[in-house]
Amino acid sequence: MSESPARNAQDYPAVSGRDIAALQDPRPTTIIGACGTHGDTCFATVIWVTPLSHNPPLIAFALRAKSRTMQLIQESKACSITTLPATDDAVKLAEYCGTTSGNIIDKASHVAHFTATTESGALVPVPEIAFSWTVCKVNDIQQAGDHLLVICNVEEAHIDCERDGKGQLVPHGMLLCVQHGTYAADRVL
């Protein structure tokens, strides 16, 4: 590595508000799916998702409390978490699920999907276009500023790729990412 001139705090412009979250961009575009106990189904586009633990496998994501998907998650205590391939159809799906209110429109009737079942018997919807998907039991929901933080135990996980001779995943294709509202492909490593 070549050395660059020393920098100090004044060399970095200050950011605030939404720009603070953008410091972590680009991030994978994720679709969260949930089914209510009466069969209602909804999807939400989320980019604030992170693994928390290998054993047990835990994932957390943030979603607004007013979201129909969040209401169904709170009701069923289950959800799916899906990553998307970098395709035009995936961008359309992410935009639709991220800009259309499930409180007004039945999003599930416009999203090709299948259902999976949690160990407790709860159903979770998974978009057919998924690059990877997990079936999750919700462990905890906590207030996190203007969002709710959902902590999930992964009961089952699937990915559309092969394994090498050592059993390691051999990803293919491109993962759909978002940066400042613009979608782009990021090579899966």
User: What sign for the dihedral angle of Cα 18, 20, 25, 28?
Assistant: negative
What's the rounded mean pLDDT across residues 27-40? 91
Enter the pTM of the model. Answer: 0.85
Does a cis peptide bond (omega within 30 degrees of 0) precede residue 26?
yes
Classify residue 10: in a domain, yes or no.
no
Residues 142-151 pLDDT 10s: 999 999 999 9
Q: Is 148 inside a domain boundary?
A: yes
Angle formed at CA 44 by CA 111 and CA 27, multiple of 5 degrees: 115
Q: Has residue 9 been placed in a domain?
A: no
Residue 176: inside a domain, yes or no? yes
4 assigned to some structural domain = no
pLDDT at 189: 42
Range of the domain at 60: 15-187
CATH of the domain at 183: 2.30.110.10
Is 156 among the domain residues?
Answer: yes
pLDDT tens readout for residues 94-137: 999 999 998 898 999 999 999 999 999 999 999 999 988 999 99
User: What's the pLDDT score for residue 61?
Assistant: 97
Residue 171 lies in a domain: yes
Q: How many domains does the chain have?
A: 1
